[in-house]
Amino acid sequence: MVVSRESRKPSVVDWLSASVLAGCFGVTWWVYDSLPDPMPSHFGMSGQADGWMPRPIAAWLLPTATAALGALFRLGPSILPRQWRSGLRATPLPALVLVFVTMLCGLQLLILRASLGTKPRLDGAIWVLGGAALIANGLLMPRTGRNALFGFRTKWTTASEENWKRAQQIGGQACVGFGAAMAILGALGFPTLAFAALLLMGAVPLVWSWTIARRRA
């Protein structure tokens, strides 16, 4: 468990992240012998498996990478350049890491379920998972301090504290709105429209920041 310099004891949210990871590793271990070899490792837009890897790699790659990246993000205030540390310390970092860990562990469970089926395929649940993660991230973005890891970052949004706060509000609203659209469209069986919602989610704040930057140029 990685703990920030400000707190020598893990928070409740840290323990939740660790529990989600432990559950993910536990489920993977439980079903490991039943998984095919090679195992599906990539799925196309339609949800159909179109890439395979040896089972020892495919089964453990995602949870291992999730644990490593989660620890790295949690270490951010200690390892980033000094000028970015105050921004991270003003950010709900444990909650952001929990969203990240939950999303990727959820993806691992969906991949395991698909691998155990006769025709490996991800269904609309992948879009629901991604949409839920975007909504959670969008709700946290307005509370995210200016930093080098999280938030909606462009050259203009990082130019000042005022620009950053406004950009996180707009970006957060885009994440919530288009994340909900992506989840609903994916659940209804419209993956192409769900992907379009994902693209719009990124485009809206980007266009907004570019427009404001031109006005102030």
**Do 34 and 130 fall into the same domain?**
no
Half-sphere exposure of 125 (CA within 13 A, CB side): 12
* Residue ranges making up the domain that contains 202: 126-138+152-217
Q: What residues in the chain have per-residue pLDDT under 70?
A: 1-8, 76-77, 79-81, 83-88, 213-217
Long-range contacts for 28-35 (Cβ within 8 Å, ≥24 apart)?
A: 28/59, 28/60, 28/63, 28/108, 28/112, 31/112, 31/116, 32/59, 34/116, 35/59, 35/112, 35/115, 35/116
**Do 89 and 166 fall into the same domain?**
no
- Residue 5, pLDDT score: 44
**Do 131 and 109 fall into the same domain?**
no
**Do 172 and 102 fall into the same domain?**
no
Q: What is the pLDDT of residues 135-185, one digit of tens each?
A: 999 999 988 877 777 788 877 777 777 888 888 898 999 999 999 999 999
**Do 93 and 134 fall into the same domain?**
no
> Which residues neighbour 104 within 8 Å (Cβ) at sequence distance 6 or greater?
62, 63, 65, 66
SS3 string of 72-95? HHHCHHHHCCHHHHHHHHCCCHHH
**Do 100 and 131 fall into the same domain?**
no
Q: Is the pTM of this model over 0.85?
A: no
